Amino acid sequence: MNPIIEIGDHPGMRVAVYPGSFDPVTNGHLDIIHRAAKVFDKLIVAVLNNTSKNPLFSVEERTELLWQATRDLPNVEIDSFRDLLINYMKQKNAHLIVRGLRAVSDFEYELQLASTNRKLCEDIETFFMTSTPKYSYLSSSIVKEIARFHGPVADLVPPEVERALRGKYGSGSL
């Protein structure tokens, strides 16, 4: 399988999709986005609209926060989807999935997802990127828990997300 595909007027362009709930986007997510944007010609950060979860931020809010946090990256596109990832990938004519690994404990789950996606569509490859050590503990759940109790999150999320968390949880010092 050749992950180089043709996109419109740009033959040979390498397009990858970084899917996730991003509820909210953290500095760990942004680290993966910035690094993946250097590897691929185009990176689509795709916000999953998972109806089985009860997110803090709407899909529109998460999409907007991601756009604000990545607007300096010209080859990054922010989008959302509610279908199987494989169907979304086909719609976007993309063959590469970017997934971040924080710890060994993430690997088993991510390997299962990658294997399932490959079973559903053998043209799909998963590209694993390990977290920068300073973000290896960081998750959206941890950020929301800290913010809910008005703890400091400024070092964990971009400024626009900190403001949005303050709006959701009240104006206590975050």
Query: Can you give the pTM of this predicted structure?
Result: 0.89
Q: Assess if residue 174 is contained within a domain.
A: no
Whether residue 29 lies in the annotated active site: yes
Tell whether 141 is in a known binding site: yes
pLDDT at 105 (0 to 100):
78
pLDDT at 171 (0 to 100):
65
Tell whether 101 is in a known binding site: yes
Buried/exposed code over 87-114 (b: 16+ C-beta within 10 A; e: otherwise): ebbeebebbbbbbbbbeeebeeebeeeb
One of 62, 92, 95, 102 is an active-site residue; which one?
Answer: 102
Whether residue 118 lies in the annotated active site: no
pLDDT at 111 (0 to 100):
92
Q: Report the chain (174 residues): mean pLDDT per 10 consecutive residues.
A: 42 87 96 97 94 88 97 97 94 94 86 93 94 92 95 96 94 57
Whether residue 140 lies in the annotated active site: yes
Q: How many CA atoms lie within 13 A of 89 on its CB side?
A: 25
| Domain containing residue 55 | 13-169
Give the count of domains, the chain: 1
In a 3-state reduction of DSSP, which class is residue 12? strand
Query: Per 3-state DSSP, what percentage of the chain is helix, strand, and coil (rounded to 5)?
Result: 40, 20, 35
Buried/exposed code over 43-65 (b: 16+ C-beta within 10 A; e: otherwise): bbbbbbbeeeeebbbebebbbbb
One of 62, 95, 131, 140 is an active-site residue; which one?
Answer: 140
In a 10 Å sphere around its CB, with 0-12 CB exposed, 13-18 middle and 19+ buried, how is residue 12 labelled? Answer: exposed
Q: Assess if residue 4 is contained within a domain.
A: no
Whether residue 10 lies in the annotated active site: no
How far is it, in rounded angstroms, from Cα 16 to Cα 127?
9
pLDDT at 161 (0 to 100):
97
Cα distances (Å, whole numbers) of residue 96 to 2, 65, 153, 164: 10, 24, 32, 31
Tell whether 95 is in a known binding site: no
How far is it, in rounded angstroms, from Cα 130 to Cα 4?
23
How far is it, in rounded angstroms, from Cα 20 to Cα 142?
16
Q: Assess if residue 8 is contained within a domain.
A: no
pLDDT at 6 (0 to 100):
42
**CB count, 10 Å around CB of 154?**
12
Q: Assess if residue 5 is contained within a domain.
A: no
Q: Assess if residue 99 is contained within a domain.
A: yes
Helix axes 104-120, 85-92, angle to 10 degrees: 60
Tell whether 135 is in a known binding site: yes
Tell whether 52 is in a known binding site: no
Q: How many CA atoms lie within 13 A of 144 on its CB side?
A: 12
Q: Assess if residue 112 is contained within a domain.
A: yes
One of 29, 42, 95, 144 is an active-site residue; which one?
Answer: 29
Domain with 98 in it: what CATH number? 3.40.50.620
